């Protein structure tokens, strides 16, 4: 059996501990599959004394994380997190030293992925990040390799487990967002500061990575249109259900003649679509190829075990020597594509208005729609809520998004509205 | 850009034509992703003159398929089919010549996979077969690489699109098997001789390949317990639905202390399980890993485009040099595991009896169950059918399969039964 693959591990949180446990528990099996043993030789984290439930005494300890790149190891695993700072410093130093880098850091990749890929290429070493998107699901590999024969038209999915947990709980229990968020935080499914998750930023990081792999374009996080699920009401989910849809936070990217379109937004998903059945913290990604058709990858999107499984899969690929350019092609071969104008996209929309309970409100909304050229497919008005305002939910026929924007602009500042309108797209 | 990867193609049926089309239509993209162009240089098929809708004049034509292994090419793609004969002869000659082999031939792999893997290793060349299981879904890669960090406890799925098409049509339209089969044949979803599909053999070929990859065991097709869907009635599907289940032909493999268990059998799938939502000719595979949890891969299981997509993905891996042992580890490292005794498996069963409409029949069945130690969870008897016989459907509590076998033995030859009992397992 060939030489040991020596691994140095930066960051000993949940995932770091998970990586050590996977390599311990599945030690023999991994060596058989990888063709050689994979061993952690050194670790680094902020607090040396913290009890992490794993025996660290067998590993060299490095205090200054950046210098972990200098230890005698073949691969550095970066699990520190954060788009810049110590994670980026370590990543750069690792690749400059010609060592392989495995990372779960979607924020760093979203912002610096192209530079890091270039550095890996120059050094002739590996940059791998299966764990950065959709936890344990091998979707990076699925796009980079499994679907590589296809021109991908669209890639989309449920990329944030926290949001999906909250949305499926709102759905099954008919409860409002704030209440379910608090419960998710108590259960550890949401962070104390949940904004990265619930405002769609985390999903957008992941989407930008998927889009790059799917379309052969340079990662373009700044071009992702982002919104989250904070403003959803239990009533929105109930109206959607009545219409035959479930509500999911979907990241969607599409490459077309008009440019690269990337969006994270709450969507109505038809109840017979596979993503409608994805509940709880599960993630799922769909890729549509010009020959393979629709591929679906589904599984646990987070957690120590699944994420560590993806990190170790990357290590096994490196141990086998089965790796190449991070984004499937040399960094300089990635196209730089302009962002598509989303106003020109055609689709159906769900619009919900909180309105005052008085004469003429419906007429005002309907007139705004008409004047902006938005065709209404269905409209539901339910009786007043406890707070005295009335909800009007509209589903539009297919049309340009720009018309919906114009309709909402016409209604801006209207005395009839008691709150911000909500706009969800309907997944086609 | 590096040298062209030269491909010779044996078999110009639907999939062979698909491979040529993928390589033509996605030519530039594939070259960018693979790091070099992939070009067909020679082809071979039975009938040179048949119009296949693709221009073959640009390729060398080889009459004697076995000698395709001798042309100036880097990889031979075998799409002839059949476990032995010309396909096997070509495969052996290809590997002996040190050329890479890509095949979609599940029957050949089920019977000769280990020998071929050994030959590829000896020659230091590639043996790849993504297209052999679940069409375009990259599940071979998912197990070999994506889930490689995990001990897999169980792998199971919907592996035959023809059966799933028939079962979902029986379900949605309440029609009987024979009628739906005839329609599937007319639509081209089932072969004129459908027995490989509907009797479970095709799914068993695929299952034996998945099991080998999942568990690191030598392929053991002969140890797969096989049955099909021929004997299912519309009434079985209706009873299952009333109990909260859908009926699917499931291939399932499990590795445990008692050995390797492999079975293809109609199962009742709980309606909240992802496989319950897989309809039509779609395939789906679930792998359960000790760290990653449940992974699901879903997509088109057959057809020219999806299957060709998988073949070309293998070619891209070879062009990139990203390949290793066919079964993830050297052939000699694969364990030879005894077949598990399925009688010792515990589970719940659905049993359906066609019985004469007279006094005492139910008592006889109930007594047989009691005497064999089978505990009944629910029993439904519906009024007589047009043919005058009555259906009794039983769902058992969890217990050893051996007890159910004994109960059915006790009832064998009983004058009360007007037909063979049907036994389906309930997926847990």
Q: Which residues of A are catalytic?
A: 206
* CA proximity to B124, closest of B108, B101, B140: B101
* Domain containing residue B23: CATH number: 3.40.50.720
- Which residue of chain B comes nearest to A147, CA vs CA? B313
- Choose the closest CB to B149 out of A35, A303, A316: A316
Q: A332 with A120: CB under 8 angstroms?
A: no
User: Best residue in A291, A324, A325 to probe B by mutation, most B CBs within 10 Å?
Assistant: A291
CA distances for B381 relative to A220, A235, B307, B357, angstroms: 62, 43, 44, 11
* CA proximity to B101, closest of B119, B81, B85, B82: B119
- Choose the closest CB to B137 out of A26, A34, A295: A295
Residue A121 in marked binding region: no
Q: How many CB pairs under 8 A join A and B?
A: 205
B68 occurs within a structural domain: yes
Predicted confidence at residue A118, as pLDDT, reads: 98
3-state secondary structure of A218: coil
A2 contacts on B by Cβ (under 8 Å): none
pLDDT top residue among A383 and B158:
B158
A157 contacts on B by Cβ (under 8 Å): none
In a 10 Å sphere around its CB, with 0-12 CB exposed, 13-18 middle and 19+ buried, how is residue B388 labelled? exposed
How many domains are there within chain A? 3
Burial letters for B392-424: b for 16+ Cβ neighbours within 10 Å, e otherwise?
bbbbbeebbbbbbebbbebbeebebbbeebbbb
Alpha helical stretches, state H, B35-176: 85-96, 106-123, 139-141, 161-173
DSSP-assigned letters across all residues of A120-171: HHHHT--EE-GGGSSTTS-HHHIIIIITTTS-EEEEEEE--HHHHHHHHHHH
Q: Do A316 and B146 touch (CB under 8 A)?
A: no
pLDDT one digit per residue (tens) for chain A, 428 residues: 469 999 999 999 999 999 999 999 999 999 999 999 999 999 999 988 888 888 899 999 999 999 999 999 999 999 999 999 999 999 999 999 999 999 999 999 999 999 999 999 999 999 999 999 999 999 999 999 999 999 999 999 999 999 999 999 999 999 999 999 999 999 888 888 999 999 999 999 999 999 999 999 999 999 999 999 999 999 999 999 999 999 999 999 999 888 999 999 999 999 999 999 999 999 999 999 999 999 999 999 999 999 999 999 999 999 999 999 999 999 999 999 999 998 899 999 999 999 998 889 999 999 999 999 999 999 998 876 666 789 999 999 999 999 999 999 999 999 999 999 999 999 99
Last residue of some domain: A284, A300, A316? A300
User: Best residue in A131, A137, A147, A148 to probe B by mutation, most B CBs within 10 Å?
Assistant: A148
Predicted confidence at residue B388, as pLDDT, reads: 72
What's the number of CA atoms in the CB half-sphere (13 Å) around residue B245? 22
- Choose the closest CB to A151 out of B26, B299, B308: B26
B332 occurs within a structural domain: no
Q: Are residues A211 and A109 in the same domain?
A: no
3-state secondary structure of B6: strand
pLDDT band at B386 (very low <50, low <70, confident <90, very high): low
- Which residue of chain B comes nearest to A15, CA vs CA? B291
Residue range of the domain that includes B390: 342-426
- Choose the closest CB to B136 out of A138, A145, A292: A292
Residue A133 in marked binding region: no
- In Å, how far is A194's CA from the nearest CA of chain B? 24
> Rounded mean pLDDT of B68-95?
97
Burial letters for A101-131: b for 16+ Cβ neighbours within 10 Å, e otherwise?
bbbbbbbbbbbbbbebbbbbbebebbbbbbb
B308 occurs within a structural domain: no
B32 contacts on A by Cβ (under 8 Å): 216, 329, 333
* CA proximity to A149, closest of B143, B297, B141: B141
Last residue of some domain: B75, B107, B132? B132
B321 occurs within a structural domain: no
B29 contacts on A by Cβ (under 8 Å): 151, 216
Q: Are residues A82 and A211 in the same domain?
A: no
A285 contacts on B by Cβ (under 8 Å): none
Is B112's pLDDT higher than 60? yes
Q: B248 with B167: CB under 8 angstroms?
A: yes
Residue A15 in marked binding region: yes
> Rounded mean pLDDT of B128-151?
98
Q: Which residue has the tokens 């059949």?
A: B82
* CA proximity to B9, closest of B83, B113, B96, B99: B99
* Domain containing residue A229: CATH number: 3.30.360.10
Q: Are residues A148 and A295 in the same domain?
A: yes
Residue A12 in marked binding region: yes
Q: Are residues B349 and B413 in the same domain?
A: yes
Q: Are residues A123 and A146 in the same domain?
A: no
- In Å, how far is A123's CA from the nearest CA of chain B? 18
B277 contacts on A by Cβ (under 8 Å): 274, 277
B331 occurs within a structural domain: no
> Rounded mean pLDDT of B179-203?
93
Last residue of some domain: B100, B132, B164? B132
Q: Are residues A118 and A229 in the same domain?
A: no
Is B117's pLDDT higher than 60? yes
> In this structure, are strands B127-128 and B100-103 parallel, antiparallel, or unpaired?
parallel
Q: Are residues B188 and B123 in the same domain?
A: no
Q: Are residues A289 and A360 in the same domain?
A: no
- Which residue of chain B comes nearest to A302, CA vs CA? B292
Distance CA A287, CA A140 (A): 11
- Which residue of chain B comes nearest to A304, CA vs CA? B291
Beta-ladder partners of B422:
B352
Predicted confidence at residue B130, as pLDDT, reads: 98
A413 occurs within a structural domain: yes
Is B1's pLDDT higher than 60? no
> In this structure, are strands A376-381 and B5-10 parallel, antiparallel, or unpaired?
unpaired
Residue B12 in marked binding region: yes
- Choose the closest CB to B322 out of A22, A147, A322: A322
- In Å, how far is A133's CA from the nearest CA of chain B? 13
Predicted confidence at residue B85, as pLDDT, reads: 95
Q: Do A290 and B142 touch (CB under 8 A)?
A: no
What pLDDT, in 10s, does the model give residues B346-362?
Answer: 999 999 999 998 889 99
* CA proximity to A201, closest of A77, A337, A83: A83
Distance CA B143, CA B150 (A): 9
Residue B360 in marked binding region: no
Task: Give me Rg for the CA atoms of chain B.
Answer: 24
What's the number of CA atoms in the CB half-sphere (13 Å) around residue B47? 5
* Domain containing residue B364: CATH number: 3.30.70.260
Predicted confidence at residue A120, as pLDDT, reads: 98
CA distances for A204 relative to A199, A352, B311, angstroms: 10, 24, 32
Is B385's pLDDT higher than 80? no
- Choose the closest CB to B328 out of A33, A142, A300: A33
Q: Do A324 and B35 touch (CB under 8 A)?
A: yes
B295 contacts on A by Cβ (under 8 Å): 136-138, 297-299
Q: Are residues A110 and A152 in the same domain?
A: no
- Which residue of chain A comes nearest to B213, CA vs CA? A33
Q: Which residue has the tokens 């096997």?
A: B88
Residue B116 in marked binding region: no
A194 occurs within a structural domain: yes
Q: B391 with B354: CB under 8 angstroms?
A: yes
Q: Are residues A109 and A147 in the same domain?
A: no
A308 occurs within a structural domain: no
Predicted confidence at residue B25, as pLDDT, reads: 98
Q: Do A148 and B34 touch (CB under 8 A)?
A: yes
pLDDT band at B48 (very low <50, low <70, confident <90, very high): confident
Predicted confidence at residue A382, as pLDDT, reads: 81
Q: Are residues A60 and A94 in the same domain?
A: yes
A297 contacts on B by Cβ (under 8 Å): 295-298
Q: Are residues A64 and A45 in the same domain?
A: yes
Q: Do A149 and B277 touch (CB under 8 A)?
A: no
Residue A280 in marked binding region: no
- Which residue of chain A comes nearest to B273, CA vs CA? A277
């Amino acid at each position: 059996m060939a030489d040991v693959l020596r691994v140095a591990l930066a960051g000993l949180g949940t995932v770091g501990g998970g990586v050590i446990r996977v390599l311990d528990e599945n030690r023999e099996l991994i060596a058989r599959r990888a063709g050689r043993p994979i061993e952690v030789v050194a670790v680094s984290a902020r607090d040396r004394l913290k009890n992490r439930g794993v025996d660290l005494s067998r590993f060299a300890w490095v205090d200054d994380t950046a210098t972990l790149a200098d230890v005698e190891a073949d691969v550095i695993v970066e699990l520190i997190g954060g788009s810049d700072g110590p994670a980026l410093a370590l990543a750069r130093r690792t690749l400059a030293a010609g060592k392989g880098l495995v990372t779960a850091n979607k924020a760093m990749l979203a912002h610096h992925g192209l530079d890091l890929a270039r550095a890996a290429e120059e050094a002739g070493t590996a940059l791998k990040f299966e764990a950065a998107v959709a936890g344990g699901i091998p979707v990076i590999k699925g796009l980079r390799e499994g679907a590589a024969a296809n021109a991908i038209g669209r890639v989309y999915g449920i990329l944030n487990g926290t949001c999906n947990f909250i949305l499926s709980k709102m759905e099954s229990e008919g409860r409002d967002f704030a209440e379910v968020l608090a419960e998710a935080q108590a259960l550890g499914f949401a962070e104390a500061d949940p904004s990265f998750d619930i405002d769609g930023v985390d999903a957008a990081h992941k989407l930008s990575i998927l889009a790059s792999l799917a379309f052969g374009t340079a990662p373009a996080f700044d071009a992702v249109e982002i919104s989250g699920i904070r403003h959803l009401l239990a009533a929105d989910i109930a109206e959607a259900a009545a219409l035959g849809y479930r509500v999911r936070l979907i990241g969607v990217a599409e490459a077309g003649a008009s440019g690269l379109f990337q969006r994270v937004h709450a969507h109505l998903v038809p109840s017979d679509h596979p993503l409608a059945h994805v509940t709880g913290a599960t993630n799922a990604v769909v890729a549509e190829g010009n020959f393979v058709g629709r591929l679906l990858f589904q599984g646990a999107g987070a957690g120590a075990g699944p994420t560590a499984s993806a990190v170790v899969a990357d290590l096994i690929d490196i141990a086998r020597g089965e790796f190449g350019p991070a984004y499937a092609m040399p960094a300089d071969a990635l196209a730089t594509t302009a962002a598509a104008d989303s106003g020109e996209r055609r689709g159906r929309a769900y619009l919900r208005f909180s309105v005052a309970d008085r004469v003429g409100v419906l007429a005002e909304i309907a007139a705004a729609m008409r004047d902006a050229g938005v065709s209404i497919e269905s409209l539901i008005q339910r009786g007043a809520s406890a707070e005295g305002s009335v909800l009007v939910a509209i589903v539009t026929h297919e049309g340009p998004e720009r018309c919906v924007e114009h309709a909402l602009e016409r209604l801006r500042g209207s005395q009839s509205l008691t709150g911000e309108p909500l706009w969800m797209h309907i997944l086609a």
